[in-house]
Structure 1
Amino acid sequence: MSINLTISHRGQAYSLSVLPNDTLALLQSKLEDLTSTPPSFQKLLYKGKSNKSLDDQITITEAGLKDGMKIQMLGTTPKELDGMKAVENEQQKRERIMRERARKGPTKLHSTGRATAEDLNYRFHKLVPLPHLPNPSSALNLLERLSNDPAIHHVMQKHKFAVGILTELAPHEHPELLGLNQNAGEQIKLRLRTDRYDGFRTYKEVRRVLCHELTHNVWGDHDNNFKELNSLLNREVAAYESSVQSGTNVLGYSGDVYEGPSMTQLDSFSQVLGGTSTTSAGSTAMSLLADSAEDRRGRALEAAEKRLRQEEEEMESSCGTAGRSAVTE
């Protein structure tokens, strides 16, 4: 007797029929044919379980899959990985430009200081920490930092995002969630705190979830439309910060920035390598730095791809916004 399964992947539902004695590997092979996602990149979630802890040679029955069961699949295609590599290459190009600009000295962007009434609408209109949780003032400070983040402000103005309330999720009330967007921007809730309430999650982690939830102002499901816009927002945040990193700090950005090595630092580096502090030695040090960077890029790219896959899985499985039914709750 066959077992009928429904697999949901990025807003698309697939119906599959397998036999009880078919292996998990066979199921994953069929899913690869349907979604172009290799088995090694597939993560199947069902009834609180995941295939990642199972041997792919066990049978469908042994894996706990039953007739009529619904499965959520997460995964990245090789084509998308190629896109990540292209983004990484572009980032490396920007970093080289940033280093050149850092050596030549900062450039400046001049703001007119004018803001229209329309511009003022595209922002977070109210910040609300949870008063019954510890240190609400610290939570408010984090919400204010997000609200005042120039890169976030930039994408909100560009895409005309308005959010009524920016508030937090209590870990004990929503342990499975990192973020939630209600009514397409009426209210966005973010997990600010650690599970034990002994501190706060890192700013970059929270901001990445915020970009994810801002995307839900436009798209409800985690489909390709959502993923394209979410990727665009993250690229725009990075591009904005790159412009700041090249010397445009007059706009008030105070986040993490890249600072190019000074000639004194290069001289010191050349001395550590056994060189001298002459101009030629400085050039030799820069060449060695570049060679070292090239050696690291392969490992960094592999780690970045793995991290992005893990972040995508975490974001989608820990986001409370999925489809218009959730957006309008």
Structure 2
Amino acid sequence: MSTDTQGITLTLTHHGTSHTFSFSSDATISDLSDEVASSLSIPPSNQKFMISKLGLLKPPFKDPHLPISSIADKKITLMGSTAAEASSIEQASFEASRRVSRPRPVQKVQAYKTRDWKKEQEESQYTFLTLRPLPYLPNPSRSLQFLQRLKDDAGIKAAMRKHKFTVPLLTEMNPIEHTQSNHEGTSRTLGLNRNAGEVIELRLRTDAYDGYRDYKTIRKTLCHELAHNVHGPHDRKFWDLCKQIEKEVEGADWRSGGRTVGDEEYYEGGEEVDDHGGWTGGEFVLGASSAGGAESVGQESSQGMSRREILAKAAEERIERLRRLREQNEQSENAGSGSG
């Protein structure tokens, strides 16, 4: 940011790219909105400005006369889609809805079978009201189909209806914005729950954007995020509810006969991650361990420990667990050979 007697220079970031604008010294945030609409083709209705220390501002502004000089020295991130991107999302949504509404062969039903109107009403109320992929990533229509699959999942629908969960927005996250690497390894955020269920974000894509992650992993992440609608911190109440939702989702999944999809166990995270217990500000990080499990370094046992000490303790526990498992396998093999 630079200021002089003639004007103000302001820089903001949009989709990882910096944009610099120049304004007169008496310019307001409304002038910034007009300039973004003109230069970046992002209409005011799609604009959201994340400003450090101020939070989220979007048109129409509560204070349209807020001086630009008061925010020019702050970090500003612009979120929003261009008119063309928004149009592509609407087209993808239309195509998806058209496929869903395509006529299907008529099936014979029992003569006096009645519809469960209460269930249908609850499912329309306790659900995800809006599905939104990221329009600037490749093939947003595929992400929309993935989100629709989660919304239509029989187990997810049953759990949301039971707990009366209504989530205004289910969307995907950009992997590159939620991946951190350092000398100790790579940490990947799998999900976010904002404002107790106002928005849930899920990591759908692979790191290279060339595919999508395992459906069972993402569905379990969604169960995890739904539990944060009720409990914020990772205490015992949270983990009890999380496990309950996971069991309900499995039990109500008619396609797998009440079992895990594909008769396989859920993916528990195959990468070692430095995540301080798996959660930071409501983020579900790949490789996290559930509280009370064999892999967890619990809050009580890790009090006063440094990050390196926590990692070392977790590594020791994993080694010990592998040793016990190897001994059990050897005992089973010996017992089998002796019985012959």
TM tier, smaller: 0.3 to 0.5
Higher helix share: 1
* Bigger relative CO (Cα 8 Å, ≥ 6 apart): 1
Alignment TM-score, normalising by the size of structure 1: 0.43
